[in-house]
Amino acid sequence: MSDPLPTPITDLDWSIVPSPCFVVDTRLLERNARILGRVRAEAGCKVLLALKGFAMWSAFGVFKPHLDGCTASGPIEAQLAREEFGKEVHTYAPAFSEVDLAETLTFSDHIVFNTPGQLARHLPAMRAARQKTGAKQVEIGLRVNPGYAEVEVDLYNPCASGSRLGSLREVIGKELPAGVDGLHFHALCEQGADVFARVLAVVEDRFGDWFPQIRWLNCGGGHWITKPDYDVELLIATIRDLKRRHPHLTIYLEPGEAAAVDTGVLVTTVVDLHRNGPLPLALLDVSVTCHMPDVLEMPYRPTIHGAGEAGATPHTYRLGGPTCLAGDVIGDWSFSAPLAIGDRLIFADMSHYTMVKTTMFNGVKHPSLALWDGKALNVVRRFGYQDYRNRLS
Ligand SMILES: Cc1ncc(COP(=O)(O)O)c(C=O)c1O
């Protein structure tokens, strides 16, 4: 997740929003979609939405005019992409079982394998699918690992030593394995076009001798294209140069975070106030482990509208969730006035890598999902007992 940017939803009366609730502003999604669409048009590449980062399908209509399709991580995301987005569907998984592959094939235009072993194992099924009368041509890709990235946190570094993601050149060998139509690499995380240019140079150095034999190159996600200081011109120029060197290649980008960064909030309510030590505690109706797991995993610190760093203003609280996990603590923030039960707290930048990761641990109330367009609040989903029950038997 990003260093949170302030989310500029300033025209919504929070008291009309059910709590808890993820509210996504379609105007902000559109802003991101247009930037991605501009890259697509000016660089002459294709841009896919990575569903792993943002999959609120009721908002797909905002992206459809600007993007070429979706990228999926397995059969279920591929099905969602096919049914709800409906343009190109590309699926990569670190490993496909036979069952997963058969399902994925039904919904995908491109399937990317992680290793030459996976490719060899599934090539007969891929070829059989191609021969089926009327079956569409499913493109076959191989994910390569450039062995070079500039990601500092190993949890998010696909090129960390011994990584299982993609295959190193020395593992694949001299020849491009039979059946490969395109190559895929993903080595960025929340990074700029300058880093992309350096990673691409390594990819070309290590795998460029195969480029004449392939039709497309997928440059993965992690491009922080919609961030205000991102150098969009450099990205466009880098892709144009790449295409000048290899005019036969179709170039794909598959950002997730860039599509949804800074487009939505998590609306929460103070349910209780408590104190067992030096800091007053505020218990909220959201859980860090269930609803914003990246705060624990990344870790990162979200922004709360109107709140400051601990101690910055007179009333500092430790904010925590409603589960039994002792570490279900979001962090310490300060407020200019004492908190009261029933107060709304609005967490910024909560659209990406949140809804897609949520759990119902402890049976905690699952945040509703809503879209806001500046005029009407559309609560597209509320969750209850049946949603919890249906996942468990
Ligand atoms: C293969 C692949 N493609 C695309 C993405 C999307 O990355 P981001 O959301 O950082 O743009 C990821 C993220 O992990 C990925 O693993």
Task: Kindly report whether the peptide bond that precedes residue 158 is cis, defined as omega within 30 degrees of 0.
Answer: no
The residue written with tokens 């940017």 in the block is 5
DSSP 3-state assignment of 210?
A: helix
**Which DSSP string do the residues of 99-166 spell out, in sequence order?**
HHHHHHHHH-SEEEESSHHHHHHHHHHHHHHHHSTT----EEEEEB--S-----SGGG-TTSTT-SSS
Distance 164 CA to ligand 1 centre (A): 15
Tell me if 321 CB under 6 Å of ligand 1. Answer: no
* DSSP type of residue 83: I
Q: What are phi and psi of 226, to 5 degrees?
A: -95, 5
| Local confidence pLDDT in tens for the 393 residues of the chain | 444 444 568 899 999 999 999 999 999 999 999 999 999 999 999 999 999 999 999 999 999 999 999 999 999 999 999 999 999 999 999 999 999 999 999 999 999 999 999 999 999 999 888 777 555 689 999 999 999 999 998 889 999 999 999 999 999 999 999 999 999 999 999 999 999 999 999 999 999 999 999 999 999 999 999 999 999 999 999 999 999 999 999 999 999 999 999 999 999 999 999 999 999 999 999 999 999 998 998 888 999 999 999 999 999 999 999 999 999 999 999 999 999 999 999 999 999 999 999 999 999 999 999 999 999 999 999 999 999 999 999
Tell me if 192 CB under 6 Å of ligand 1. Answer: no
Distance 298 CA to ligand 1 centre (A): 15
* 264-275 and 280-284 beta bridge pairing: antiparallel
Tell me if 258 CB under 6 Å of ligand 1. Answer: yes
Comparing CA positions, the residue from 159, 129, 139 lying closest to residue 91 is 139
Task: Kindly report whether the peptide bond that precedes residue 299 is cis, defined as omega within 30 degrees of 0.
Answer: yes
DSSP 3-state assignment of 282?
A: strand
pLDDT of residue 8: 66
Residue 308 carries which side chain, given as an amino acid letter?
G
CB under 8 Å to 61, separation ≥6 — which residues? none
Name the token pair of 145: 């690992």
pLDDT of residue 302: 92
Write down the domain spans for the chain: 14-22+263-390, 44-260
DSSP 3-state assignment of 217?
A: strand
What pTM value is reported for the model? 0.95
Ligand 1: residue whose CA is nearest its atom 7: 221
Mutate to test the pocket of ligand 1, among 39, 52, 151, 294 (most ligand atoms within 8 A of CB): 52
CA end-to-end distance (rounded Å), the chain: 33
pLDDT of residue 55: 98
CATH architecture group of domain 44-260: Alpha-Beta Barrel (3.20)
14-22+263-390 to CATH, choices 3.40.190.10, 3.40.50.720, 2.40.37.10, 3.20.20.70: 2.40.37.10
pLDDT of residue 9: 86
pLDDT of residue 324: 97
Tell me if 220 CB under 6 Å of ligand 1. Answer: yes
Distance 116 CA to ligand 1 centre (A): 21
